[in-house]
Amino acid sequence: MSSKQQHVKLNDGHFIPALGFGTYKPEEVPENKPLEAINLAIEAGFRHIDTAYVYQTEKDVGQAIRSKIAAGIVKREDIFVVTKLWCTFFRPELVRSNLEKSLKNLQLDYVDLYIIHYPVPMKPGENLFPEDEHGKTLLDTVDICATWEAMEKCKDAGLVKSIGVSNFNSRQLEKILNKPGLKYKPVCNQPTIWKKRQNCTSLSLPLSSLLPKKFVSTLKSSVHVECHLYLNQSKLLNYCKSKNIVLVAYCALGSQRPKRWVDPNSPVLLNDPVLCDMAKKHKRSPAQIALRYHLQRGIVVLAQSYKENEIKENLQVLEFELPLEDMKILDSLNRNLRYAPAPFGEGHPEYPFSDEF
């Protein structure tokens, strides 16, 4: 089975597929669904799987990968696995233990990318969302730079290929970049090359259309953030490009709208009339246009689905191109609407979403 994935070559020698498969499971989704979906995603051609300790889907990711290796569909090195350090493990002495738990769940020796999930530390302990008797999140005080140093040690130990962050704003990224003694700088000056990997099919598109020349990263750092047509993160993207940091978009389809995190009165992204008209014009689906928009801005994009037809449809975003005038129209849909403001971190000095970007 070949994969249609396109990869970004990183200057540390690793590759990240430009399109990733998300595995967050809202409470309302049945337990058996993630494994089923991840199996379908790998069979369809996804080679970048995004999970997290807190999603509790790591075991499913590991099981799916093992079964596809056993079936001869992929080799371990074909799959780019991302998982995340949860907020209750930010104290430096706890970082490696969280990673080891993740590796055990995944039944892997290493992950390709390990990222700090969200910059607000929470009280360590068994409970992943520790709360006081009034339901208020119990936060912690940890210098994020000390957490980063512990992440660097995980890379040195060979447990992760690359390290990065998620939900950091530009100020927090700057803090890491300016950390005295920073070992793995989230900056590099080598151009990124889109490359056809062995066993991967090539695209009919000119390579230059996929990413701006300056879309580069060592993937010694990347930043995963909410990013979609209604929150297009143009300022953070420019900042990241200036620092050669890869931006990875989540909620690119407007999120799964889990009751716990998303206001049910917020507008449904994929119903946007301008997006739907454009999709009709190109004989594509609104989801495909919404994903393609990010690829053409030089963003690595995650897509989540539990349906086979949608999983396959989402992979087809690698097969067409939007003209510049349509990209401009899509730019104009931005309304700085954040679907998942993660209110549990509010009140902490490191709550990331109060800053402009």
Rounded least distance, CB 190 to ligand NDP, Å: 26
| β-strand partners of 115 | 84, 164
- Check residue 162 for interaction with ligand NDP (CB under 6 A): no
HSE-up (13 A, CA, CB side) for residue 301: 31
The reply on whether position 303 binds ligand NDP by CB under 6 A is yes
What is the total count of residues that contact ligand NDP (CB under 6 A)?
Answer: 28
Query: Which C-beta is closer to ligand NDP: that of 200 or that of 231?
Result: 231
* CA 92/CA 148 separation, integer angstroms: 8
| In the complex, least distance from residue 332 CB atom to ligand NDP, rounded to whole angstroms | 20
CA angle in degrees (0–180, nearest 5) for 82-237-180: 70
Q: State yes or no: residue 233 binds ligand NDP (CB under 6 A).
A: no
Q: What is the nearest approach in angstroms of ligand NDP to the Cβ of residue 72? A: 27
What is the rounded CA–CA span in Å between residue 25 and residue 234?
A: 28
Stretch that binds ligand NDP, among 65-73, 95-103, 236-244, 301-309 (CB under 6 A): 301-309
Please name which of 11, 3, 2, 19 lies closest in space to residue 210, comparing C-alpha atoms.
19
CA 305 and chain centroid, separation: 15
Please report whether residue 304 would count as binding ligand NDP according to CB under 6 A: yes
Amino acid present at 264: P
Site pattern 108..137 for ligand NDP (x: CB under 6 A): ---------xx-------------------
Going residue by residue from 49 to 88, which x/- string records binding to ligand NDP, judged by CB under 6 A?
-x--------------------------------------
Smaller CB distance to ligand NDP: residue 117 or 161? 117
Out of 243, 255, 279, 322, which residue is the one contacting ligand NDP (CB under 6 A)?
Answer: 255
CA distance 126 to 71: 36
Q: Does 313 bind ligand NDP (CB under 6 A)?
A: yes
Residue range at the interface with ligand NDP (CB under 6 A); choices 9-17, 142-150, 253-261, 315-323 = 253-261
Contact 123, 139 (CB under 8 A): yes
Catalytically annotated residue among 24, 55, 184, 293: 55
Q: Mark whether 306 is an active-site residue.
A: no
Helix (H, G, I), strand (E, B) or coil at 192: coil
Q: What is the DSSP letter of 71?
A: T
Q: Is 39 in the site for ligand NDP (CB under 6 A)?
A: no
Binding positions for ligand NDP, 281-300, rule CB under 6 A: 285, 287
- Span near ligand NDP by CB under 6 A; candidates 73-81, 104-112, 308-316, 322-330: 308-316
Q: Considering the complex, what minimum distance in angstroms separates the CB of residue 27 from ligand NDP?
A: 13
Alpha helices in the chain (DSSP H): 33-44, 58-70, 92-106, 144-156, 170-177, 234-242, 273-282, 286-296, 308-315, 324-331
Alpha-carbon distance 194 to 20, whole Å?
A: 16
**Distance in angstroms (rounded) separating the CA atoms of residues 11 and 24:** 29
The rounded distance, in Å, linking the Cα atoms of 301 and 310 is 15
Residues marked active site are found at 55
Contact residues: ligand NDP, CB under 6 A: 22-24, 50, 117-118, 166-167, 224, 250-256, 270, 285, 287, 302-307, 310, 313-314
